[in-house]
Homo-oligomer: A and B are copies of this chain.
């Protein structure tokens, strides 16, 4: 959401400091609801990945200390305890912590799992830990910027020999086709038609000329309909070219500076005949590999790539082009991608795609550059 804030908060946001009360009002509130927790707990792909990462690698947990960052309902902390951990600290910033505590007790694990209500930046633990486990990934990996809290936890509380669960994360982008672009274009045009009727009526009945607001209204509507990325569950057939990695994160060493801005240039070859490049799809995967000196016995992958049977609640993020571009097999895209945090709200992202297209005939199409908002 745009709009300037009063001086104190403006300065704070500019410094990307988490203004706790605003952050709570906007971000944490959703996680305080059991319904939302249940949605995540019902995501079988997500649950399976974490479940297997723990129970196929119990050597990382047996007799060890664990920190669960953002425990929510407490599920990862409970599994860690069942995998044999000596002690689990389960930190949760919202009142969901009370439910986590009840769940731990109901599953007879209260001697092992200690639920702590508070933010990771503030809480104090009695000791450093062998494992930090967290399900921190937002849409397209970095939306919500929860990884900041994981980094903070790691820097404060992970032993020098400790492991991160997950250990690695990657962001992927691919060219896609989609009917959503047409829909949104129609919605935008309908909204502008409606605006013009509204202006006529307001002039006729109420004597006020609204035309000076046409430009800002159209920019606001454009941003809403055409420039905001969408959640979508892409079918694999909608991916029309080779996918590329735009970011790789080693969770053991990444800093906040590393993830403040994502920049990447990559090539993509169109793999479908006579189709439309309607935009780009973005997703992520994470891996549970342990660390070089203490690797996983079994490496587990959690991917949110387009899939028929293994889709997740994350879906993919879709960035639509207006208008779409006709492309065909072996056309080559040179793409520049960037993503950084919105100045107004560090948990939202601004994304830019630049694209040059060389048809397989050798002909160069006009290049374009589009800005998007990931809300």
Contacts and interface: CB of A to CB of B under 8 A. Distances in A.
Nearest to A107: B209
A28 B25 CA distance: 13
Chain A interface category by residue count: 35 or more
A22 interface: yes
A187 to B, nearest CB: 12
Contacts of A256: none
Interface stretch (A98-106, A124-132, A135-143, A175-183): A98-106
Given A35-B220, A213-B99, A5 B24 contact: yes
Residue among A22, A42, A79 facing the most chain B CB atoms (10 A cut-off): A22
Q: Is the interface of A mostly helix, strand, loop or mixed?
A: helix
Given A21-B6, A32-B2, A73 B213 contact: yes
Contacts of A210: 103
A111 interface: no
Contacts of A202: 41
Residue among A19, A32, A213 facing the most chain B CB atoms (10 A cut-off): A213
A45 interface: no
B5 A38 contact: no
Interface in A12-71: 19-22, 24-26, 28-29, 32-35, 38, 41-42, 44, 47, 51
A4 interface: yes
A267 B285 CA distance: 62
Nearest to A118: B6
A19 B95 CA distance: 20
A14 B3 CA distance: 27
Nearest to A75: B208
26 contacts: A1-B32, A2-B95, A3-B96, A5-B24, A6-B21, A9-B24, A19-B21, A21-B22, A22-B24, A25-B26, A35-B191, A35-B224, A41-B198, A44-B205, A47-B205, A47-B206, A51-B205, A75-B206, A82-B207, A99-B213, A102-B212, A102-B213, A105-B212, A106-B209, A106-B212, A107-B209
